Chains A and B, each alone.
Chain A
Amino acid sequence: NAGVTQTPKFQVLKTGQSMTLQCAQDMNHNSMYWYRQDPGMGLRLIYYSASEGTTDKGEVPNGYNVSRLNKREFSLRLESAAPSQTSVYFCASRRQGEKLFFGSGTQLSVL
């Protein structure tokens, strides 16, 4: 069972570069989420998609865009990366009324 798959696992960017983090789930979940994890701060919600075709801002959306491509895939885009976006990014998904399932994370460094 693949669960929630994130690509890439590691990425190094230069300031100003753009990139897209990919997330796919094979559990037919309606809701998908992007979090960032920083030392001493726990996880903070960037964006979420409650269902296919909808997206909403979370706690820290600035500097990011998302696309819910279909029910399976939810991508996170950094248009112009900044050092403050150095973090570990987690994608998660869930079926309504059930628990979150997390991917294994993407470690992003912006130099």
Chain B
Amino acid sequence: AQSVTQPDIHITVSEGASLELRCNYSYGATPYLFWYVQSPGQGLQLLLKYFSGDTLVQGIKGFEAEFKRSQSSFNLRKPSVHWSDAAEYFCAVAPFSGGYNKLIFGAGTRLAVHP
């Protein structure tokens, strides 16, 4: 069965430090890959997506993610975290054939940022 794993439930970093959030998926073929962010009391907002092509994708708010086929991973990175980045982050995958109608979300990683 298709699945998405975010191994880290909670991560705490200091403001200005670098960040990497992990995401692993299990799919038979390369799926569509997404990262979403959810601020408290809000819906999800798309940070970035990967469909094909360059395996390093740039998103909003200074985030980037790298698709590694050999590791079935799509990790999210940011070189310098700001206090406003504190939120919950969700990785999601969708099969090439089903697209958004078959999105599967990971359980999320909650990010805390220390001043």
Contact = CB atoms under 8 A, between A and B. Distances in A.
Nearest to A90: B43
A43 B45 contact: no
Contacts of A105: 41-43
Contact of A99 (B46, B106, B107): B46
Interface size class of A (residues with CB under 8 A): 20 to 34
Given A31-B100, A50-B101, A102 B107 contact: no
A2 interface: no
Given A4-B43, A45-B103, A104-B43, A99 B49 contact: yes
Contact of B43 (A56, A59, A102): A102
B78 to A, nearest CB: 20
Interface string A68-105: 00000000000000000000001010100001111111
B73 to A, nearest CB: 17
A42 interface: yes
B101 A100 contact: no
Contact of A104 (B42, B49, B92, B100): B42
* Main secondary structure on A side of the interface with B: strand
B64 to A, nearest CB: 17
Interface residues of B, number: 20
B56 interface: no
Given A40-B9, A41-B107, A102 B101 contact: no
Contact of B44 (A31, A43, A50, A56): A43
Contacts of A101: 43
Interface of B: 4, 9, 41-46, 49, 90, 92, 100-108
Given A40-B108, A104-B42, 5 more contacts: A33-B100, A40-B107, A42-B4, A43-B44, A43-B103
21 contacts: A31-B100, A40-B9, A40-B108, A42-B90, A42-B92, A42-B105, A42-B106, A43-B90, A44-B105, A50-B101, A56-B101, A59-B104, A90-B43, A92-B44, A94-B100, A99-B46, A102-B42, A103-B43, A104-B42, A104-B43, A105-B43
